[in-house]
Chains A and B, each alone.
Chain A
């Protein structure tokens, strides 16, 4: 177990190193000059050169990257070029809202996805099955920006059920989380449906029914725990996709999370923030996958991680 975890952590660190390297390289090659951006339009070339030197931007790429890594190890992500505050502070202030939205969003994804998947599998080939699967298809292919705007307009403006964006209590959280949940649930409902159908055809289910267990008990006790296993690593993978959704949904709903920060930083070419957010997101994805891998044997004891 310990060997497995330490090996996985080793891989994770390598992945993170790769991610920071690629992001840093891409932004280094970007034809934007941060020193000129900071210096403003009235600056003389000497002033620009002075700022470039202070920021260490006149150093060759490998040296800049090494400095960045050195600071990163000490938990320093640098200072934003636009806001001039430490990137860790900017991300730190937005971490909690993002985690809240993420937990609620993934919760809704699972709740909606699994229930729809179960219903579709039990009513296989009925009109309900076809309608639900068509719906899930629409959900995963709908452009998030448009869908979020429509939800906001319909539920918050027309029906006045929810506040119009912003951060606050549960009522603020509900609409963006539902948007994320409905849009992302399609993956899960399709996966649960197919794996349910597979399990339903197995011998032990027929045995359970034959020995007189109720249909509900069979589904909850015997089918679902077996059908759910592939969903767990899926959550780990989903965190990455979910980050992309956060950028859009947070911007539309005015949710003060990491996604909104990312969107602003990209528009303003605020390189330290972009690199910082990418690094933090990569950590989240790697952690999510690690946790998913560790949870699987707990749900399904037949899987033995020592063999992997």
Chain B
């Protein structure tokens, strides 16, 4: 017994000692200041509201959630939670919080803060774009309809324990607990600043906000009391806004800028990527994104499976990738390669003009047909649409392109009698969290095949919906492999119905100066988009 206690104590010391260094990169150095530029103003740093690729990672560095991901990966880890347990039926999650975690104002984080923060996001008065992520919690409807002030499903057991009850088992709930909208905020600061909390953020994160000069610069300062010892590495980060992306690259060349946040402008991309001086500065990474063409399965002639398959075979994806200067890789299924559940062995519909013609003839369209394609009106989307138009013309399908503002394309996409084809570029779909379910429900499921929804093919396969529901109820850790396999099958089965033509998966390119250190994966982090500021350092 004594021996056991001793070995436990030794293990604990070793573990704590290990925590002092960054266990992700032993070569990391501390200190220094980095300069990062962006063209647009940073909208808000309120975790309940910020929802663009510019503030997404900044918020992750100022605040924390119960869960997070291993840096540079899509692997879920515990963050503010020191432990969690899931009930047998998968509906009750009990989180134990780490002790001694302090907000930037010095107060310790308690379980009541977790409850408050989740309720704040769901509260309609907050106008959070992320409220819908929490719809699985008991009591969501009442609160969303302003009938209740609290979420009935969240219970503060004691200062360091919070229990969340779901309406039904939900395998994605831990992912939701890692999304920015679930991050913990201190009530007193939110009440102090009101609607301006986004300009005066106070969290528990690796950095705190030191200064915000509107339209000029945001300064992050290292949080010396950060609960993950040894992090962050940089003393400060200055985000300079209002910088033209071209000018930012010129300044990076001169050594005035460390990371050009907006990347390389499309027009300059090839020149930049092929220049030996810059080649080593560009980091390429995957994105949880798929660009696709939807075929409205309820609207003739796309209600005919053979027609949809023919369209899939008629489009040369390689050519489209060339049109956007190789900033993507061709796709053959809905899921992007970086997403769990992606099927490496699936070959998809090969490019085959003769085969497409034959299928169209079998479907009774040997003379082809006329149709319309809706597309967003900003470059490069219309150019991509034209490439698709030319490809389809070769098999006799005459496409009229409707190039419109984003809101109009989205509205037309969801309606029953319009938009037989929609090119998703510039709008859909980038995953909110790295789980395959996020690529099904909102864009392929029956529930989203409605007016105003995002399922623009109006695709509805009841048996696949049942399988998806089954997959999402597999919440236990030991079921995860089985669940991923099930999702893999669902997406390949979707392709048999061919409601989409998956075209490509966009890649991400970050440009950083030669003095920046840390694994390349940090600069194209799939979750901390675009860059994981907590782990990067100066060489």
Contact = CB atoms under 8 A, between A and B. Distances in A.
B442 interface: yes
Interface string B23-64: 000000000000000001101101001010000000000000
Contacts, number: 114
Nearest to A265: B41
A46 to B, nearest CB: 7
Given A94-B214, A261-B215, A36 B40 contact: no
B431 to A, nearest CB: 12
Interface stretch (A14-22, A106-114, A230-238, A248-256): A248-256
Interface string B192-212: 000110110000000000000
A301 interface: no
A102 to B, nearest CB: 16
Nearest to B241: A256
Contact of A260 (B124, B129, B242): B242
Nearest to B46: A84
Contacts of A250: 242
A252 B145 CA distance: 46
B134 to A, nearest CB: 10
B144 A82 contact: no
A31 interface: yes
The listed residue with most A CB atoms (<10 A of its CB), out of B40, B133, B242, is: B242
B407 interface: yes
Contact of A46 (B144, B195, B432): B144
A26 to B, nearest CB: 15
A257 B216 CA distance: 9
Contacts of A97: 215
Contacts of A54: 124-125, 127
Contact of A32 (B213, B250, B405): B405
A243 B437 CA distance: 49
Nearest to B196: A85
Interface size class, chain B: 35 or more
A33 B407 contact: yes
B251 A164 contact: yes
Contact of B243 (A40, A46, A93, A254): A254
Q: Is the interface of A mostly helix, strand, loop or mixed?
A: helix
A290 interface: no
A46 B127 CA distance: 12
Given A31-B407, A54-B127, A164 B250 contact: yes
A165 B127 contact: no
A43 B132 contact: yes
A264 B407 contact: no
Contact of A43 (B40, B131, B215): B131
B3 interface: no
B407 A36 contact: yes
A252 B39 CA distance: 10
Interface string B229-272: 00000000000111110110011001010000000000000000
A257 B215 CA distance: 8
15 contacts: A31-B405, A37-B407, A39-B127, A39-B129, A42-B130, A51-B127, A82-B43, A84-B46, A89-B214, A97-B215, A164-B254, A165-B243, A166-B240, A252-B244, A267-B40
